[in-house]
Amino acid sequence: MISRWKRAARGVAFVLSAVALAAPATADEGSRGRELYGFCRQCHMDNGAGNPLYLAPNIAGLPEWYVARQLDKFHSGIRGTNFDDVAGMRMRPVGIWLEKESDRKAVAAYVASLPIVEPAPTLVGGDPERGKALYAPCSACHGPDAKGMEALGAPALDHQDDWYLLTQLEHFKSGIRGSKPQDVQGAQMRPMAMLLADEQAMKDVIAYIMTLGGAPKTAKE
Ligand code: HEC
Ligand code: HEC
């Protein structure tokens, strides 16, 4: 398993290094973080809004501590190493490629500096009223307005893509995310996803979370 991983990862790392050589940072291009973000663009786009076609979520303006922690997890293999995790496995080679902790921090700071982009809703059939009740236990960690709480390691959810929230809840529930013994924060979140009985409950809570950001309230049918 591990060697399969390493082979797959090396392929992508090579492509990324080739890009690095082809696109040297110019003096006025600013920080190391900005330079490193050059590789993230292909999936998360210039503004960090992500692209559902690549399963890449909206990361614009996520807090630096959260982004750095996720990059550490993708680096060490705490996240993105489950073979059922198609999306996580796309991000994992990037984590491997970001070898230095200082680089992971630098690019996290750059991501955090990107202005927030309101996501366009894509899910239909969620009931925000039911979702409001289901969200009550979530607010203990993610905050009543889903702005997140650093002390508890819980990220903001209020500007996140609905389709991505749904996959992550499914992944926490099934153990694709958050079940590695070293994943302290994942262990906090997993039982919460298990509280959501089925996909409808997940859609309901997401519909409520979507009302907390500045996004339009319902998806086009
Ligand atoms: C090949 C496409 C690709 C590239 C390049 C890429 N990502 Fe990702 N990224 C993804 C995908 C797909 C996910 C979703 C993983 C999941 O669903 O678990 C992701 C997830 C993330 C997350 C987790 C977001 C969250 O809310 O937990 C962060 C942070 C992130 N990427 C940052 C970066 C940074 C910084 C770079 C550049 C150094 C980068 N990504 C480059 C595809 C990519
Ligand atoms: C005990 C604290 C706690 C509670 C309660 C909690 N969460 Fe979380 N949640 C976390 C932590 C910590 C993380 C970050 C996990 C990590 O670092 O990988 C997280 C991550 C998430 C993510 C992934 C976000 C991303 O950008 O990838 C989603 C979605 C989420 N929580 C939704 C919920 C919902 C919905 C509820 C209520 C049903 C809930 N959480 C309740 C602690 C909590």
pLDDT of 34-84, one tens digit each?
A: 999 999 999 999 999 999 999 999 999 999 999 999 999 999 999 999 999
Give dist(CA 44, CA 37) in Å, integer.
9
CATH superfamily of 4-113: Cytochrome c-like domain (1.10.760.10)
- Taking the CA of residue 117 as centre, how many other CA atoms within 13 Å lie in the half-sphere pointing to its CB? 19
> Is 80 exceeded by the pLDDT of residue 218?
no
Q: Tell me, in angstroms, the distance from the centre of ligand 1 to residue 100's CA.
A: 17
CA 33 and chain centroid, separation:
18
In the numeric block, which tokens belong to residue 39? 């590789």
What integer pLDDT is reported at residue 64 of this predicted model? 96
Tell me if 4-113 shares its fold with 128-211: yes
Nearest CA to ligand 2 atom 23: 168
The residues, any chain, with a CB within 8 Å of residue 40's CB and separated by 6 or more, are: 48, 59, 94, 107, 111
Using pLDDT thresholds of 50, 70 and 90, give the confidence band for residue 24: very low
What is the dihedral sign for C-alpha 56, 76, 180, 192? negative
What integer pLDDT is reported at residue 207 of this predicted model? 97
The domain segmentation of the chain, as residue ranges, is 4-113, 128-211
In the numeric block, which tokens belong to residue 104? 């992971």
In the numeric block, which tokens belong to residue 162? 């609905």
pLDDT of 177-205, one tens digit each?
A: 999 999 999 999 999 999 999 999 999 99
Nearest CA to ligand 2 atom 43: 189
CATH superfamily of 128-211: Cytochrome c-like domain (1.10.760.10)
> Is 90 exceeded by the pLDDT of residue 16?
no
Using pLDDT thresholds of 50, 70 and 90, give the confidence band for residue 214: low
Supply the pTM of this predicted model.
0.89
Q: Tell me, in angstroms, the distance from the centre of ligand 2 to residue 7's CA.
A: 32
The residues, any chain, with a CB within 8 Å of residue 160's CB and separated by 6 or more, are: 57, 58, 119, 209
> Is 60 exceeded by the pLDDT of residue 14?
no
Give dist(CA 126, CA 4) in Å, integer.
39
Amino acid at 57: P
**Higher-pLDDT residue of 35, 9:** 35
Pocket test for ligand 1, best of 35, 83, 94, 160 (most atoms within 8 A of CB): 94
Mean of the pLDDT values across residues 81-97? Answer: 97
Whether ligand 2 lies within 6 angstroms of the CB of 44 is answered as no
Identify the CA nearest to 128 among candidates 205, 70, 76: 205
pLDDT of 105-142, one tens digit each?
A: 999 999 999 999 999 999 999 999 999 999 999 999 99
